[in-house]
Amino acid sequence: DTGVSQNPRHKITKRGQNVTFRCDPISEHNRLYWYRQTLGQGPEFLTYFQNEAQLEKSRLLSDRFSAERPKGSFSTLEIQRTEQGDSAMYLCASSRGQSETQYFGPGTRLLVL
């Protein structure tokens, strides 16, 4: 069990650029989640996948955000035309099944200049 991994760990970009983050869940976990956390706040849910199907999306996930999990293994989160308000820690988590513990990765810290 190697844990959830995320890449890159840090990303600095200029406003208007596109960025993509990757998440590799714990093997055998079929559920994968994306959250966003800003300073002094708890994580906020963005979206979740069961295998390759995206089953739930938050209203926070504007049309500039897209997430995929094409083969039911790793996932990518893309932000198009980044804005300064997108600066945050993007967290990925995975779980074995419904209502089971979600294990988080180390996060990707995004700074939009």
Partner 1 sequence: EDQVTQSPEALRLQEGESSSLNCSYTVSGLRGLFWYRQDPGKGPEFLFTLYSAGEEKEKERLKATLTKKESFLHITAPKPEDSATYLCAGIRGGGSEKLVFGKGTKLTVNP
Residues forming contacts to partner 1 in the complex (CB under 8 A) are 4, 31, 33, 35, 40-45, 48, 55-56, 58, 91, 95, 98-99, 101-107, 109
Q: Is 76 helix (H, G, I), strand (E, B) or coil?
A: strand
Is there a contact between 48 and 68 (Cβ–Cβ < 8 Å)?
A: no
Is there a contact between 28 and 61 (Cβ–Cβ < 8 Å)?
A: no
CB of 89 to partner 1, least distance (A): 8
Is there a contact between 45 and 104 (Cβ–Cβ < 8 Å)?
A: no
Instruction: Name the residue nearer to partner 1 (CB basis): 75 or 102.
Output: 102
Q: What angle do CA 66, 69, 73 make, to 5 degrees?
A: 150
DSSP conformation class of 73 = S
CB of 108 to partner 1, least distance (A): 10
Instruction: Name the residue nearer to partner 1 (CB basis): 42 or 70.
Output: 42
CB of 73 to partner 1, least distance (A): 18
Instruction: Name the residue nearer to partner 1 (CB basis): 82 or 102.
Output: 102
